[in-house]
Structure 1
Amino acid sequence: MLIPGVFITVLTFPGVIVHELAHQLCCRICKVPVFKVVYFQAANPAGYVLHEKINNHWHSLFVSTGPFLLNTIMGAVIALPASLPVFSFGNAMFYHYILLYLGISIAMHAFPSTGDANAIWETVKRPDAPWLFKLLATPIVGFIYLGALGSMFWLDLFYGMGIAIGIPKLLISLLA
């Protein structure tokens, strides 16, 4: 069954918003001027951040991959308070399921886009890129492209569920 990407994007819009906020936050941390931010639109791309060209290699990598870290952490933290009532106590309220939805949708949008991979790759190809940067950034580009390929097979959904449901369940079982 093929479900249009725009439908999934609209359904999981909180994740798109957090993803773009993460890019913007990383730009701010690196003091990269931002010209325009679209946090969400029901189109492709679902959101974007237009910023000044980044000259620092490490800043470029940070801005491109920042959403992976922020969306992953936020997805887990938001879903964690709902995990005990839903999975252990059986006394979940409606808002617990809302928290799980938010956690999953935010974690689903953790993967950087192929546009982010292209930005990293352009930085890797620069003649002034340090060898350590090239060594670390090249496999990241490959993983981003694999993630984009995997999203055709619902990898992003499985990742979101693993972060928002799997990790809290694992913590509960370890601490119980």
Structure 2
Amino acid sequence: MPVDVVLPVVALVFALAVLATAIIGIGTLCWFGLQLLTVPGVVVHEFAHKQACHLVGVPVLEVAYFRFGDPSGYVRHAQPDRYRKSFVISVAPFLVNTVVSLAAFLGVAILVTSVVGSPLSLELLADLRTVSSEVLVLAAVLGWLGLSVGMQAFPSTGDANTLWVRSRAEWRRSPVVLLGVPVVLVIYVVNLLSWLWADVVYAIGLAIIAFYAVGSVGL
């Protein structure tokens, strides 16, 4: 093969290799950044599972509050002897994460209100230019906590699977467990919609509620 043909081919292969390496590197960095973003939410989520186990008297075998892997965190516990215990353990993160996320967003809203007046003001972005860097950093940290924790509020598919198996096994003996079936379906649907950023939308919704609440009561 002529040299004038070989050199362009080699250059093209080399350029494609460099491009592929860059894309993989950028993808890895994005994944790593996303993992770091979710750290507070995962920790609160698993903490809620663990505390729920203690609340209902189910022994905890192993806890990973956060790790770089799939899943990002987990709580392994003994098999609950009653359906209601499984239900409490499974849905605890939704309640705890929602409360913590809402509290963080309320902190942001109150902080903004104390500095610029109303968090619902149309001139909010212009007013924020006059805010000190310390206040902006604190608001950013609280906002990160609110977003991260809110995004991790929904129970996982594994939690839904646990409830579904218990429901199928126990509904004849105790029909009241059927009341938990709609919750199981909601968990499945929300986890499916997470591909459409449903978890992010939920967290943003909590932020909107917090800002509206602070603005409406004039804190």
Q: Which residue of 1 aligns with 2:177?
A: 133
2:76 corresponds to which letter in structure 1?
L
Which structure would you say has the larger Rg? 2
The C-alpha deviation readout for 1:82-112, integer Å capped at 9, x for no partner, is 1133367244421111101101101110000
Shift of 1:6: 6.3
SS at match of 1:53: coil
Task: Check whether the contact 2:37–2:144 (CA below 8 A) recurs between aligned residues.
Answer: no
Q: Which residue of 1 aligns with 2:22?
A: none
Measured at CA, do residues 99 and 129 of structure 1 come closer, stay the same or move farther in structure 2, by a change above 3 Å?
Answer: farther
Q: Distance in 1 between matches of 2:165 and 2:32?
A: 28
Q: Distance in 1 between matches of 2:191 and 2:153?
A: 11
Measured at CA, do residues 129 and 112 of structure 1 come closer, stay the same or move farther in structure 2, by a change above 3 Å?
Answer: farther
Task: Check whether the contact 1:107–1:159 (CA below 8 A) recurs between aligned residues.
Answer: yes
The alignment of Structure 1 onto Structure 2 pairs a total of residues equal to 172
Task: Check whether the contact 2:106–2:214 (CA below 8 A) recurs between aligned residues.
Answer: no
Q: Which residue of 1 aligns with 2:149?
A: 106
Structure 1: tracts of 5 or more residues without a match = none
Structure 2: tracts of 5 or more residues without a match = 1-26, 117-127
TM-score (norm 1): 0.90
Q: Distance in 1 between matches of 2:64 and 2:91?
A: 18
Q: Which residue of 1 aligns with 2:214?
A: 172
Divergent runs of 4+, >4 A: 3-7
Measured at CA, do residues 8 and 68 of structure 1 come closer, stay the same or move farther in structure 2, by a change above 3 Å?
Answer: same
SS at match of 1:40: coil
1:15 corresponds to which letter in structure 2?
G
Shift of 1:12: 1.4
Shift of 1:172: 1.8
Task: Check whether the contact 1:9–1:16 (CA below 8 A) recurs between aligned residues.
Answer: no
Task: Check whether the contact 1:36–1:51 (CA below 8 A) recurs between aligned residues.
Answer: yes
> % of aligned pairs identical?
34
Shift of 1:129: 4.9
Q: Distance in 2 between matches of 1:152 and 1:6?
A: 18
Q: Distance in 1 between matches of 2:92 and 2:102?
A: 16
